[in-house]
Every structure is written in structure tokens, then in C-alpha cells.
Structure 1
Amino acid sequence: MVGFRGTVEQHHHKNTVQLPLKDSDGSAAATIPLDKLVDSIEGLQDKSRFWLAPTLCHGALQTMYIYGAAADQVKFPVYYGRRVVELPQGGVVSADYVIPQPESSESFKKLVGENFPEGWPKLHPRTRYLSPSEVDALKSETETRPLVIINHGLGGGSHEPVIRMLTSELHDAGIDAVVLNSRGCSRTKLTTPELFSGLATEDLRYFTKLIQKEYPKRPLFGVGFSFGATILSNYLGEEAGDSPYVAAAVLSNPWDMVDSAYHIQHQLVGKYLFSDSIAFALSRMVKSNRETLSQSPLFTEEKIHKKYHSTVEFDNAITAPEYGFQTAYQYYRAASSVNRLLKIRTPLLAINSSDDPVVGVYSIPNFEAEANPYVVLIKTDLGGHLAFVQHDGKSWAVERIVDYFKAFDKTVDLTKKVESSYKPMVSKYVDKVHF
């Protein structure tokens, strides 16, 4: 698809869940269906149009810009304070909290060198470690404002342009945010010989519980980008009705990882540009943490130093065997979040583009979205992967996600749990399918 005037196509259940309105008495009249809340957001109505940058008239160009030119030419002056989170199952992740802009760049530079873990790599620009007292100051039993927990793309982190776009927009809207950087990502040093996968939801689960403990009154919103959308969607499906998130949004989720793997490998741009660059980033992450990874017999010298040219090649050698799979595609079938989409019971806005060079068009789960009243799927014909870049350099999709959370915060009573009689059907053969 080529062009710059995109079209929105909605997919949702005919009777989406009823969201309790603020100051309501709990009656049916004091609720709003999820799809009507989405309809209240400008640009998300079915058949509505949006305009992208005319010079980026193809999904591949959109994606190349967001991964390349946007990183250098478009500035999103958001600052992060980093916290290292030790996991009970071993290893660490890092959490980057959006912090106020410093009085001057010089004052920030002085703080960058403080509280730095010995032997850890230099952080990305506008990021520094928080002191123990600053971490303690984050905790609050009385804070009631929403907090957005963000899950990044494959091998990415808080430094990614699309995430800086989101955190900057949320900050401008007065909504707090924190980015959860996966093991080894965004210059988070590995302390145990274990990476991450689409099925590894335990780290997100632990961090979510930690935030709940530190902020018992804060409503939680969740966001997932690309591979982070897979992890978040899998987590929400596993938690089902026990999910602590009051709302969530996912962008460019490769719902069916098998279809996405075939898609990216069987088109020239995907195979020789995007797949190769993602594999290069993963290879670099492995080499940067070779001392720790070499403690495991799974990570041989050959695997650590090999130059991978595709995500399938990398996952065949490393991810699949690490998580007990024989091949990358067996892992993809198990980790695909479409397997758990029908189990999600958190109001979810999902945005996918049909011209995504990374996610196959057949991966977009129209029918599953229409079967689950907790989901509204927005499918567009333009946008690329994590891009949707407009003439001003901002992302149409990111702005809609921010509007979605603003609508929730303004309209919905976030202290009340969304009630529904919905339960996914369970096949008698479900135990034979190892999901």
C-alpha cells in the first residue's frame, strides 16, 4: 500500500464491556461501552481518515524513518531516572521513570556520574541513575494519579524514538510513566545467564506487583510496543480477570509470530534491512554480556560470537533452546499472543497497520478481537511498524494511545473493576495444545 492518507477500520464485539463512569451510582445507565469510549477519541472512529508525512508514503519508509532519521532529527526532550530492580528468580531489569527536566544540562551531567553501578555501560542521553533516597521518594501510599508501565520492542528500551514520543506526550498530558527495560536491554547489564522471550512474563508480573505495593492507590495503565506488546498481551491473557491493569494499549503487536517470521523473511526489505538489523542488535547485546552468558552451557563461544543475519537464525540458536524448544518456529507458535487474546479481561486498545513490513497482514486477529468484548482493534491501511509518522514528525498512533488514556482518566471511575459475564470458550482439546 502506497500513500499518505490512511483509513481506520474498527474490529470489536457487538456488545463491548461497560465501563463505570466517574461519580456514578453503579447503575447500567452510568456506564459507557468500551467501543463508545474509543469512538469519543478523535480519529479512531470506523472509516475515519488520518494523514501521514507525504514523503513517507510506504510502510517500509515509515519504519526506516522511525528507526533511523527520527532518532537523530526529531528530539523528544524527556529525561529518565533509572532504577535497577532485582528479581526474586534471579537477574535484574531496569525501570526508567520520567523525571522533570533539569534546570540546566550541566546540572544533569553532574548527576549522571553518580550512583553508577560498577562495571555497567554508559547510559543513553538524558538518562541517569536514581539515588537510593530518590527511589524511596518514588514510593507513595497516597498517590492516586494513573501510572503507565511501558514495555519496549525487541532488544530496545526507553531510548527508542517511539517510546520517547510516548513518554514525552504523556508527560505533557500530566500522566506519569515508567519504562520497564528487559534483561540486557537499554544498557541494562545481565547479572545471570538468562535473556528474555515472548513467553517470559514473570519479570513484568513481578515489577507490576512491586509497583502495586509501592503505589497501592494508583491505577495502572499498560502499553506494549511490538515484541513488548506480545509480552504484555500474553501477561494480560494469563492474568485474565485478575489483571491489575485498568486499561492497556498495544501497538504493532506481531500477534502470530509464525506468520510475522514468514512475512519478514519473504520480502526483500524485511529480510535484508529490518530482520538483519534486529538480529544485529540482539547479537550485540549477547556479545556485550558474554562474560555472564558464558556461565551457562547453552551459550557457547560459537553462539556468543556468531554474526546472526535474521531473528529466526538467532532464535533457533539461542532463544528456542534456552526456553526448551527445538526450533524457532515451535517457540513462535507457543509464544504468539493471539493464543491468549480471547482470555484478556482488561480493556485493550490494539493498533496494527496492514502495510507493516515486520508484522504480516494475516497476523492481525480481526475475528478474535470481535469475539472478546474487552478488545477494540484498530486496523489501518498505512503506518508501517511502530511509525505512523505525521508531517510534524510525531506519531499518529502514539497520540491516539495518549488520548485513549486521557479519556479513561477523565471519564472512567478507575477505582471500580470492570464487571462482565464474558468467559472464553474452552475446547475439550485445549489440554492437547501446549500453549
Structure 2
Amino acid sequence: MPLVKSAYKPSLLFKSGHFSTIYSSKLRVAPSVQQLRERIHLKDGDFLDIDWSYSKNKSHQLAILIHGLEGNAQRPYMKGVASHLNKNSWDTVAINLRGCSGEPNRLFRSYTAGATEDLEDVLHHILKNYNYTNIILNGFSLGGNLILKYLGERPFVPQEIKKAVVVSTPLMLDQSLEELNKFSNSIYARYFLKSLRKKIKEKAAMFPNEFSENKWKEIKSLLDFDMVYTSKAHGFKDAYDYYRKNSSLQFLPDIKIPVLILNAQNDSFLSPACLPYKFAENHKYIYLETPKYGGHVGFFDKNNLYYNEKRTLDFIKTL
């Protein structure tokens, strides 16, 4: 498909990628959304909490939302798109990935950028118990990578899934880690690591035979976390094996529904590989939009309605 020319033109302050990222994550007031929680029990004995929000009128259209690393359904970017879609006749359900709903998950394993079996379980639950004929997937950062992998690794996806929109998505996980490890991104790396270390300390207490306290103390970086915990808890040889097998770029060729990838050029989390211009030009279903500005999930716009939220609705209007 032709590359999408972006209409996003923010005000002066929001031309800074770092300002956009930090403001949108820490200072944006989340739109008001009434969320109703449902717990799904998974096949392996664990659980997922999903948060529903509804349009005023009964709808057969559903958007499934997936947050980024150490996010949850209450983050401003999640509530922002849920609010906008609810106002435009879409129900939404936001998935809190394992351990992200405010309660530790039951198992030693947690969530990853490629755990598509959890998305599959949510879809199975929804299709079995609810009457939605049109479903779209909307993911942010890690959640976007998970959605792209899900769509590309299977020969078929449920016919109810019509389109997907992914925002600020690291298509190459190892390269995005390299970007996060740069000094200019140290504030973000420290934030993620602090949250992850807190969770892994809880895991060590829950599973002393799996993860000793001394092992927990070895984690000094995001790479350490994936080496010491992520890879071992989820069946990978090491962190690099995890990155290689779960990076979504390799799954794009086999996607068979329309997908919009919205990645800002000044997103400091993303490497050049996350802006695959030549590939998108020749793919029937991949729409690539790369605004000059936007930071990481920071597409600020007027009236607390973000550009990515407007683009998501615009992209899915015609199914």
C-alpha cells in the first residue's frame, strides 16, 4: 500500500519527542471512562483481568486494546482511545496483561511482547460469550508488537477481526532495547526497570525455588531482566533468543487484514527498522504512517483528543 501522508502538526512544545512522551504519560488527564472489570481464567491456571467500556447505544462493534510495557487499562492513552471510540458507537475492552491489573498473576511466568496465546484466549472468550460481528485490535508499544505477531503468525484469524491499529510499536525488540539503553533515554529505562524489579521481587517471594533473592539482586538493566527472568520464565534460551523470536517485523509479510502502523519519526524508543518504508510500499495490507513528531505514544492534540485516537477511528470507519 502507498505510504500514508500524515496530517499531524503539533504545537511548538510538542515537536519535542521527549516532551511529548513525558507529558502524555505523566501529565495528561485521562478522559473519564466507566470501566467494568471481568476476570478470565486461562487454561494454564492463571488469569487475566479485562476492563470493558461501552457506547451509549447497543453495539456489535468492539475494539480490543492492549497496553505497553508496565502499562494497564487505566493509563491515559488507553482511556483516551476508549473514550473516543465509545462516543462513536464502539464498545471497547482493555486487556490488562498478566500481573498488570493491580494483583500479581498466579504463575511464575508473566507477560511478554510475544505471548499471543493470551490474546487468543481473550478472543475465544469474547467470541464464545458475546455477539460482536466487527472487532478491531488496537495496541500500544509492546501491545502493538504482540498484535502484529498474532496477526502474522497464524494462517487464519477469526473472521470477526476486520482491522488493526498499532501505535509507537517496536518492530525489532533488540534494536529498541539498544535505543532505550542510550543515555538520552535513561529516564525511561530507569522507570521501567524500577517497576519490573518491584514485580520480580514479588515473584521471588512467591516462588523461592524458581527465583532466589540473590538472583533478583543481579538485575541492573532491562537486558539483565530479560536475561535473568523473561527468557527463563517463558522458555527462551536467553534474552536475544526472546527478542529474535518475538520481534513483529518478521511476521508482517503474512498479515492478511488491513493494519495501520503509526510510528513517529522522533520516537526515541524506536530504531530505523521500525519505520519499514520499502516494505510497506509493497504490502497489500500494511499502511505505514510516520509523522515527524509524536514521541512515544505522545500524539498530543487539541481538546485532550490525541491524534492517534482520531486516526484509529478514521481508519476503522469503513470495515
Change (3 A) 1:276 1:214: same
The equivalent of 2:50 in structure 1 is 95
After TM superposition, give the deviation of residue 308 of structure 1 in Å.
4.5
| Structure 1 match to 2:213 | 301
Range that drifts further, 177-186 or 312-321: 312-321
SS of the residue aligned with 2:290? strand
| Secondary structure of residue in 2 paired with 1:205 | helix
Counterpart amino acid of 1:246? K
Q: 1:222 aligns with which of 137, 145, 150?
A: 137
Aligned to 1:68: 26
What is the CA–CA distance in structure 2 between the aligned matches of 1:353 and 1:58, rounded to whole Å? Answer: 11
Residue 193 of structure 1 aligns with which residue? 108
- Secondary structure of the residue aligned to 1:50 is coil
Between the aligned partners of 1:386 and 1:296, the Cα distance in structure 2 is 38
Partner of residue 246, structure 1? 162
Amino acid corresponding to residue 234 of structure 2 in structure 1: Y
Deviations 1:102-159 (A, max 9, x none): xxxxxxxxxxxxxxxxxxxxxxxxxxxxxxxxxxxxxxxxx76111111110121101
8 Å contact kept, 1:193–1:296: no
Match of 2:307 among 396, 400, 420: 396
Structure 1 unaligned runs (5+)?
1-11, 14-34, 36-44, 102-142, 413-435
CA contact (8 A) 2:14 2:294 kept: no
Is the partner of 2:154 in helix, strand or coil? helix
Question: What is the identity, as a one-letter code, of the residue corresponding to 2:214?
Answer: E
Question: Aligned residue for 1:366?
Answer: 277
Partners of 1:353 and 1:383 within 8 A in 2: yes
Contact 1:283/1:307 (8 A) holds in 2 = no
**How many pairs align?**
317
CA-to-aligned-CA distance 1:369-413 (integer Å, 9 cap, x gap): 2332111111121110011112544321122112222x22xxx3x
CA RMSD of aligned residues (A): 2.2
Contact 2:197–2:219, Cα closer than 8 Å, also in 1: yes
**2:11 maps to which residue?**
53
Q: Distance in 2 between matches of 1:216 and 1:164?
A: 23
Per the alignment, residue 121 of structure 1 pairs with none
User: Which residue among 61, 86, 90 is the counterpart of 1:175?
Assistant: 90
Q: For 2:13, what is the secondary structure of its paired residue?
A: coil
CA contact (8 A) 2:55 2:88 kept: no
Task: Identify which range, 222-231 or 394-403, moves more after superposition.
Answer: 394-403
Q: Which has the larger radius of gyration?
A: 1
SS in 1 for 2:65: strand
TM-score normalised to structure 1 length: 0.68
Contact 1:54/1:391 (<8 A) preserved: no
AA matched with 1:253: T
Matches within 5 A, 1:22-421: 46=5, 48-70=6-28, 74-98=29-53, 145-244=60-159, 245-266=161-182, 268-270=183-185, 272-292=186-206, 294=207, 297=210, 299-304=211-216, 306=217, 308-405=219-316, 407-408=317-318, 412=319
Q: Would the aligned equivalents of 2:59 and 2:90 in 1 still touch at CA under 8 Å?
A: no
* Paired residue type of 2:238: T
Instruction: For structure 2, list consecutive stretches of 5 or more residues without a partner in the other structure.
Output: none
Letter in 2 for 1:92: F
Distance change >3 Å, CA 236–CA 277, structure 1 → 2: same
- Percent same amino acid at aligned positions? 26
SS at match of 1:340: helix
8 Å Cα contact 1:148-1:220 kept in structure 2:
yes
Would you say the 8 A contact 2:54–2:92 is kept in 1? no
Q: 1:295 to 1:213 in 2, by over 3 A?
A: farther
